[in-house]
Structure 1
């Protein structure tokens, strides 16, 4: 990496990474560039568990090696999700959340729950995302994939794949499973973007100039809007149950009692938001590889048995969730580095998925990785609930597309979302020929 300063003198609690590097890891724009991986590579080699102290943020540990990320992920009792913010936000944002909800979290959902509570709430819908239930859903998902491919074929040989295909397809899948009517998709997208305060300037322009009180008012308005919307959905599903996820959530019972409003709305929100941006990023990553890697399209089109490997490598290469935060329940060690009780910890999944100790030629997109122990879905108690559905969606789309796709190439410069949390291609202009 170029022009990296030497580490500051170690603090009592451990080594502190260079100040310029720490500030970059707190800067969303860096996550849209290759500089992020330069930083991660340096950290894996020199300071694999390092303390960061960027201006405006609480100090935190950055964990960059695959083995250490895996170890923390598997030990949810020692490194819980609920005690501190689970996404990387500045100190002012944490204060706003406390003002709105009285805790570090804007929404109470599966990602902020631990222990028995997490297991109980996860169990409410887990069966809906397991392979057996997904086999029932597969025909509808395949039909939707065929429809999306037909729409792509009608675009005249040019499109922005990220905008025209990657985003609308998984959004439609998850909204249909949830039970949100098509006319409300745009509203759901807007409200969730406002609630999470997107960091990318293309989606945050209207919020960038707001002061803390104005920002909090918009966020609170989004939470109120989602609560109102999903309360109406729940009331309807209690009176008129259907075969959808909303009916399960609306009628959910734990320990003999209906779940609370906060937990109910949090469940809707996590399903509505987690199921589309992440899958979209992986789909775009696969198309980027098909458009830029000579011979890859011909190879997978000739041998459909390679599709699962294509999907898995697309997930590793994209790593849509770049970071997640944990904290230490007690004094502990990560990779031999002591961390203190209450310390905030960043798991850098994008670094773990480029770890040279685990992946040969980690920056290449290769469908020949066997095994491919990618970390993108997490591990342990908080493993992504929708991982099997995501794989099904991606495989269905490319099963429908590849037999018709004769050629594809870039038709402009790809652009990445600027975000420390969920990040992927936001623009992927391509030129293609289809049968």
Structure 2
């Protein structure tokens, strides 16, 4: 019988509260990279899994998408909820987004939305992003000299962008914001609807109810937006199932919003913490592209994804049995000392920057180009106008093991 490597430090990856303590989390992950890069984790309330913390190993696993599949366990959730979600999917009634499925169905579904995130489509959206950036920086001027940047600016700017892409009415924006925060805030006492698994199912049902009505409307009266493209899509001549259609909306509306809002709030926090880098960016605006990549590397809005081995294999010499799950810690990969020089340093000019915040391989984030463009538009508008900026209180991070970041960022500032 093979003895499993079990390092106590790996338990942090199954602790939502650990992600609210940056120093403690990064300390534990640095220890794992050095001493137990493949560690078995068996924590009460969760199905066991292997924690993978090295950049090279994560890339290698992502490349082998036939050996390591997304189904049946794409993300880390408590076992009760995992059981419920699996049962629902097996019955054809559960959430089945791009992150839940594998090729060839994944490839076919991905094609439906791909054109909306290609360079041509992004150029068409760029003017809207720039317009919204001006609007929200203008709101900062009006609301100053203090505000909670995360809740008053960062959550709203990307919400407007993604729901513009979907073609949803502005009157529905507050509802979408609440649902997306409940979906990804299930481990955070401030955002969760309730503590049990049924609360998360209720959130998903609310999403499905909203988008089911929208699908019927777009099929009867198509418009020039992504919602209509999804509602009227076909695969092999057949329309999408109701679950595939609803799931597609959920992943675009929620992941497309919450990840970018986390990137924007966290990006500003890094600039505040590193005034020299802020000044460097103000002096040389041509660094904005690399600055945005560095924000994304450091913030890591998507903390992890999981894969399940479809055959006996090994990672870094450690045997992984068929059916066992691996957790890919992007937070750890993005601080890997073998890939990034001085990885704990925030460097607006870092190049190359091979971060894994958008994943890798066939499941590389569909909306990566949009997220980059949104952040670039916003900080291109904000950074040159900053005369002074500082924290007006302690930042608060979301308790999560999946998607999240800074949830409160009180700042004091003066803008030109």
- TM normalised by structure 1 equals 0.92
Equivalent residues in 2 for 1:368-407 (5 A)? Answer: 368-407=349-388
Matched, 1:306 2:284: no
Pick one of 355, 363, 367 that aligns with 2:348: 367
Per-residue CA shift, 1:135-183, capped at 9, x if unaligned? 0111111111111111111112111111111111111111110122111
Question: Counterparts of 2:234 and 2:89 in 1: how far apart (Å)?
Answer: 23
| Structure-2 change in CA distance of 1:81 and 1:412 (3 Å) | same
SS in 2 for 1:207: coil
- The aligned residue for residue 75 of structure 1 is 64
RMSD: 1.7
Question: Counterparts of 1:219 and 1:47 in 2: how far apart (Å)?
Answer: 33
- The aligned residue for residue 408 of structure 1 is 389
Question: Counterparts of 2:179 and 2:185 in 1: how far apart (Å)?
Answer: 10
Pick one of 107, 116, 120 that aligns with 2:108: 120
Question: Counterparts of 2:73 and 2:248 in 1: how far apart (Å)?
Answer: 17
Equivalent residues in 2 for 1:220-231 (5 A)? Answer: 220-231=201-212
SS in 1 for 2:380: helix
- The aligned residue for residue 151 of structure 1 is 139
SS in 2 for 1:295: helix
Deviation at 1:126, TM superposition (A): 0.3
Matched, 1:61 2:42: no
- The aligned residue for residue 169 of structure 1 is 157
| Structure-2 change in CA distance of 1:54 and 1:136 (3 Å) | same
Per-residue CA shift, 1:375-411, capped at 9, x if unaligned? 0000101000000000000000111112221121111
Matched, 1:235 2:222: no
Question: Counterparts of 1:108 and 1:13 in 2: how far apart (Å)?
Answer: 35
Q: Is the 8 A contact 1:22 1:53 kept in 2?
A: no
Equivalent residues in 2 for 1:189-204 (5 A)? Answer: 189-195=177-183, 198-204=186-192
SS in 1 for 2:307: strand
Deviation at 1:203, TM superposition (A): 1.1
- The aligned residue for residue 207 of structure 1 is 194
- The aligned residue for residue 7 of structure 1 is none
| Structure-2 change in CA distance of 1:416 and 1:219 (3 Å) | closer
Matched, 1:345 2:299: no
Q: Is the 8 A contact 2:144 2:412 kept in 1?
A: no
- The aligned residue for residue 327 of structure 1 is 308
Question: Counterparts of 1:17 and 1:228 in 2: how far apart (Å)?
Answer: 44
Q: Is the 8 A contact 2:10 2:39 kept in 1?
A: no
- The aligned residue for residue 7 of structure 2 is 17
Pick one of 35, 47, 51 that aligns with 1:46: 35
- The aligned residue for residue 268 of structure 1 is 249
Equivalent residues in 2 for 1:415-426 (5 A)? Answer: 415-426=396-407
Deviation at 1:298, TM superposition (A): 2.3
Q: Is the 8 A contact 1:13 1:338 kept in 2?
A: no
Q: Is the 8 A contact 2:185 2:399 kept in 1?
A: no
- The aligned residue for residue 3 of structure 1 is none
Deviation at 1:193, TM superposition (A): 4.2
Equivalent residues in 2 for 1:3-14 (5 A)? Answer: 12=2, 14=4
| Structure-2 change in CA distance of 1:103 and 1:341 (3 Å) | farther
Pick one of 238, 244, 252 that aligns with 1:257: 238
Question: Counterparts of 1:152 and 1:60 in 2: how far apart (Å)?
Answer: 44
When the two structures are aligned, how many residues end up with a matched partner? 415
| Structure-2 change in CA distance of 1:56 and 1:283 (3 Å) | same
* Residue segments in structure 2 that go unaligned for 5+ positions in a row: none
Matched, 1:35 2:45: no
SS in 2 for 1:432: strand
Deviation at 1:119, TM superposition (A): 0.7
- TM normalised by structure 2 equals 0.96
Deviation at 1:78, TM superposition (A): 0.9
SS in 1 for 2:390: strand
SS in 2 for 1:286: helix
* Residue segments in structure 1 that go unaligned for 5+ positions in a row: 1-10
Question: Counterparts of 1:196 and 1:12 in 2: how far apart (Å)?
Answer: 37
Question: Counterparts of 2:218 and 2:67 in 1: how far apart (Å)?
Answer: 38
SS in 2 for 1:406: strand
Q: Is the 8 A contact 2:14 2:43 kept in 1?
A: yes
